Amino acid sequence: MSKSLIKWTVGTLAFSMSAVSAQAELPSQQQEQAPGWFRMMVGEYEVTALYDGQTTIDTSLLKGMEQDEILRHLNTLFIDAESGMQTAVNAFLIHTGENLVLVDAGSAACFGPTLGQVESNLRASGYSPDEVDTVLMTHLHPDHVCGLADENGEAVYPQAELRASQADADFWLDEERAAAAPEGNQAFFEMAQNAVAPYQASGRFKPFTAGDEVLMGIVAHDTHGHTAGHTSFMLNSDDDAMLVWGDVVHSYGVQFADPTVAIEFDSDPEQAIRTRESVLESAVEDKHWIAGAHMPFPGIGHIVKEEEGYRWLPVEFGPIATDD
């Protein structure tokens, strides 16, 4: 048989096969979620939300509202609280034109397999960890700090300066305070210290003070209460502004309706409430963007005042709108 005849036969066979199976073949359900990143411009700054994953928070951790009222609020908003409220963990990557800045680093392996995706989503979004030159921390809780170091204790962002507020560093990195803490809280100190260690060792850990312009166009706002040095970062570019607020709100279903509800993890609940009230009022007045670590991914939106409480208006998905 000549080579061309073989080709012809194979061609015919392929044709009749496809004629026989002229019906779609049903694949399995894919059951994979889309990659967890989202991008937008704030003036000339490019902001990328990075999804670390989600965890569940038991409603009993919310303080200052009866459980049945909490459930009524959640129910109205179709938030299923039966096995805890689904709570996102988001980090934010900001390309200012001069710097590539990560705000918070996610949970890595500190809270199990439903979290720890900041690094992979940063890569999926088109960047590489060694391109990050600055990491800003809103505070040193493990769901923000653990992603700084890998399982060998090496820096995940090997070229970056790490910056946290002096007040949070004084608290979480103090070995005496750690030793004196209740046993259940000691892991939090240890996680913070392990995550910060490689940056300290290479001389790249540089605390800031509230009020500092940590980078051009990025100012550290004092929003303490949730932790001693909890910080929000205000970005300003052209006429646009965004407050990367960290943990000002944990439960959008309850704390927008009533900002006086605190959460178990607040180190100073009364101050955390005052901070939340004042940050929400400013956001309504100034109409700037909010980027929240625990708001539903991508965690970006605006806030409007309601007759009672506030309302969250999530950003709309769309193409990147540049001024060019």
Residues at the contact surface with a copy of itself, assessed by CB under 8 A: 22-27, 29-39, 41, 46, 48, 51, 53-54, 76-79, 86, 88, 95, 97-100, 114, 125-128, 130-133, 159-160, 287, 296-298, 302, 304, 313-314, 316-320, 322
Distance set, CA 301 to CA 8, 174, 252, 267, 297 (Å): 61, 36, 12, 26, 10
Residue closer to a copy of itself by CB (options 4, 30) is 30
Residue closer to a copy of itself by CB (options 182, 319) is 319
**Cα angle at 111 between 158 and 71, to 5 degrees?**
135
Residue closer to a copy of itself by CB (options 85, 173) is 85
Q: What is the dihedral of CA 233, 116, 113, 200, to 10 degrees?
A: -100
Residue closer to a copy of itself by CB (options 225, 301) is 301
Closest CB 27 distance from a copy of itself, rounded Å: 5
- What is the rounded distance in angstroms from the CA atom of residue 259 to the CA atom of residue 281? 11
Closest CB 28 distance from a copy of itself, rounded Å: 8
AA identity, residue 128: S
Closest CB 168 distance from a copy of itself, rounded Å: 24
**Cα angle at 216 between 238 and 201, to 5 degrees?**
150
Closest CB 181 distance from a copy of itself, rounded Å: 33
In contact, 291 and 244? CB cutoff 8 Å:
yes
**Cα angle at 215 between 213 and 216, to 5 degrees?**
85
Closest CB 210 distance from a copy of itself, rounded Å: 26
Residue closer to a copy of itself by CB (options 38, 310) is 38
